[in-house]
Structure 1
C-alpha cells in the first residue's frame, strides 16, 4: 500500500487524484493540503478518511480545526509539517504557481517520491530541484499529460538514442485567430478551453500558449535535453500527448483520450501500471489527427518562455512570476488579454538575469519580478 499526500487537493488535479486514490486498492491518502478552501478540504478528507490536513491560510485552518477531528496544520509551514510527519511514500504536488515549490522541496528533501503536476517548481528552480532529487534519491514522475507521455516513451531508451522531443498543444480557444482579434478577448472567452477542463490560471496560460512555454522549460529539466531539441506542435484533437524521435528515424507516439486520471494514476502507482476506468480511444471514431506549427506572432508567450529558458539563471523565474501577476490581473479584469505577454516581456527586460545558487536566489527574483509586473499592470488601461 502506497501512502499518498495530495497538495492542492481541492483543485482540478487534486480532486481527480482523490478519485484515483479512492478507486485503487494500492493507494491510501494520508494527508491533504489546500490553500483556503477548508469546507471542500474537509469533505474530501471525510471521503478519503484522512486524519491530517493542512491549509496555508491561517484563518481557514482555524475554521477547519473547529469541525475536523484529526490534526490541522496551519500557515505557510503547514504543508511542510504534514509532508514530513505523515509517513507518506509519494507526494502529489498539484499546487498552482510558484507557491508549489515549497512542497516540492519538502518532499524531495525528505527523500519522498514526487508526482509532479506543479510545473512551476521546475520552471523557477529546475537545476536546484533536480539536484535535490539526485542527492536524496527521490524520484520525480511528471503528471502533466505531455510530460507523462514523454516519460513513458523514454523508458528503456538507451542514452544517445533520442534526437528530439515533441510536446503537443491543443492551441487553446483562440487557435487560428489573429493577434488583433484576441487583443481584447474576455475572461469568459479565454476560459472556454475546447478540450480540457482546468483551473482558471492554467486555462488562461493555455489560451496564451504560456502553458506550453512553461512545459518546454519543464521538459528541459526533466529529461536533460537541449532546448533546440524540444519542439511544440499544435494538435487540436488532443489525442497524441507526446512524441519522441529516435536516432534511427523512428517516431514514437503516446495516444489516449484527454483524461488526467491516466497520468495521475501512472505517477502514483509508478513503476507499476494499474487499471483506470476511463473511456477507451477508438481511432476510427476520431477519424483524423492534425498537426500545425504554433503561431508565435499571435502567441508570443511561447517565444518568451523559450528565450527565458535559454537565458537560464533567474530568467525563467521572472517569466513565471510576471505571468502569474499578469494572468491574475486579467482574471480580475484589470488587464486586457493582449497585454499579458507585454507585461511578461517588460518584466524580463527590466529584471537583471542572475545566477541561481540557492533557493533564496529564486525567492528574491520572484519577489522582484512580481513588484515590476504589478507596476507594469498599473501602467496599462484595461
Structure 2
C-alpha cells in the first residue's frame, strides 16, 4: 500500500489522481490532502478517503470545515499547512497538483522528508529548478513528471542510453485559438479562450494553452527534469494530442509515447512507477479510427510566449521566476476581464525587460523577485 499526500485535491489533476487511487484502492491510499476553499467539493473527498491530515487556504476556511468533519482529522491551513501535508510522516509520496508558485516550498519540504515527488506543478521547476533538482539529487529522491508531455518523454527514455539523446520534442495542441490568425486575437473573450479543443483543464492552464505559454513553461521544466540544454528541446504543434511527446536519439531513431488525451495515464504511471497497471478509466487508442496525425512548426511570431520562455530559460537565474510570476498576474487579470488576451504576453515581456537577472539565486531571492514582479505587473495593469 503506497500512501499519498495530495496537494490541490479539488482541482483537475487532483480529482483525477483520486480517481486512480479509488480504482486501485488495494494499492494506494490518501494519507493527507490539501485544497483551497472549495469546501463543497472537498467534503465528499474527505469523507470517502478519510485522510488523517487536511490543509486549507486559511483559518476562516478551517473554522467552517472543522464542524463538518471527523474530530480525529487534524486540520491545518496556509503555506505551513501545505508543508505539513507534503512532508506527512506516514506518507510515501507527494503528488503536487496545486496551481502556482505556492507549490515550491511544499515540494522542497517533501524532498527533505525523503518523499517521492509526483510533479504536476509547473511553477516548482520553472521558478527554482536548479534548487529543486539539486536537493532531490542530494536526498536520493525521485521527481516523477505528471504533465502528459514530460511523462511521455520519461516513458520514452526508459531502458535507453540517456547520453545518446539528441533531441526532446514537446508537442502542443495549439490551444483554443489555433485556427485564428494573430490579428483575429484582438477581440477574443475569456469564454472563447476557455474552450480547449482537446483537453479538460483548469482555467489558468487553459489560458496558458491558448497563449502557448504552457509550452514555454514545459520547455523550462524539461530542461531541469532531463538535464537537457535548451538547444536540444523543440516544440511542435500536433492538433490531435495523440503523440504526447517524442525523443530523438543519436541514430535518428525517434521514440514517441501515444494515447488518447487523458491525464489519467501519466498520473497512474507516476503513482505505480516502475510498474504499469491496468485501467478501466482510460480507453484504448485505435489509430485506424484516428486516421491522420498532423504536425507543424511553432510560429513564434504567432505565439511569442514560446520565444519569451526560451529567452528566459536560456538567461536563467531569476528570469524564469519573472516569466512565471508576470504570466500568473496577467492571466488572472484577463480572467477577471481587466485586460485583453494579447495584453498577457505584453505584460510578461515588459516584466522581463524591466528585470535585472540575479544568477544562481537562493530561495529567499527567488521569493523576493516573485513578489516584486507581481507588484510591478499589477501596478502596470492598474
TM-score, normalised relative to structure 1: 0.97
Tell me the equivalent position of 1:330.
334
Tell me the equivalent position of 1:40.
41
84-93 vs 163-172, which moves further? 84-93
Map 1:1-382 onto structure 2 (within 5 A).
Answer: 1-24=1-24, 25-69=26-70, 70-277=73-280, 278-378=282-382
Give a deviation string over 1:101-160, Cα, whole Å, max 9, x none: 122111111110000000110000000000110111111000000000000111121132
- Asked if structure 1 preserves the Cα contact closer than 8 Å seen for 2:111 and 2:117, the reply is yes
- Distance (whole Å) between structure 1 residues aligned to residue 369 and residue 360 of structure 2: 9
- Asked if structure 1 preserves the Cα contact closer than 8 Å seen for 2:170 and 2:245, the reply is yes
- Distance (whole Å) between structure 1 residues aligned to residue 87 and residue 175 of structure 2: 38
- Asked if structure 2 preserves the Cα contact closer than 8 Å seen for 1:241 and 1:253, the reply is yes
Q: How far 1:191 moved relative to its partner?
A: 0.3
Q: How far 1:86 moved relative to its partner?
A: 4.2
Q: How far 1:355 moved relative to its partner?
A: 1.8
Q: How far 1:376 moved relative to its partner?
A: 2.1
Q: How far 1:56 moved relative to its partner?
A: 2.2
188-197 vs 150-159, which moves further? 150-159
Unaligned runs of 5+ in 1: none
- Distance (whole Å) between structure 1 residues aligned to residue 347 and residue 115 of structure 2: 37
- Asked if structure 1 preserves the Cα contact closer than 8 Å seen for 2:5 and 2:88, the reply is no
Q: How far 1:314 moved relative to its partner?
A: 0.2
- Asked if structure 2 preserves the Cα contact closer than 8 Å seen for 1:179 and 1:338, the reply is no
Q: Which 4+ stretches in 1 moved above 4 angstroms?
A: none
Q: How far 1:97 moved relative to its partner?
A: 1.1
- Distance (whole Å) between structure 1 residues aligned to residue 241 and residue 162 of structure 2: 29
Partner-residue secondary structure (3-state), 1:216: helix
- Aligned pair count reads 378
TM-score, normalised relative to structure 2: 0.97
- Distance (whole Å) between structure 1 residues aligned to residue 196 and residue 292 of structure 2: 20
Partner-residue secondary structure (3-state), 2:296: coil
Unaligned runs of 5+ in 2: none
Q: How far 1:356 moved relative to its partner?
A: 3.2
Q: How far 1:4 moved relative to its partner?
A: 0.3
Partner-residue secondary structure (3-state), 1:337: coil
- Asked if structure 2 preserves the Cα contact closer than 8 Å seen for 1:183 and 1:339, the reply is no
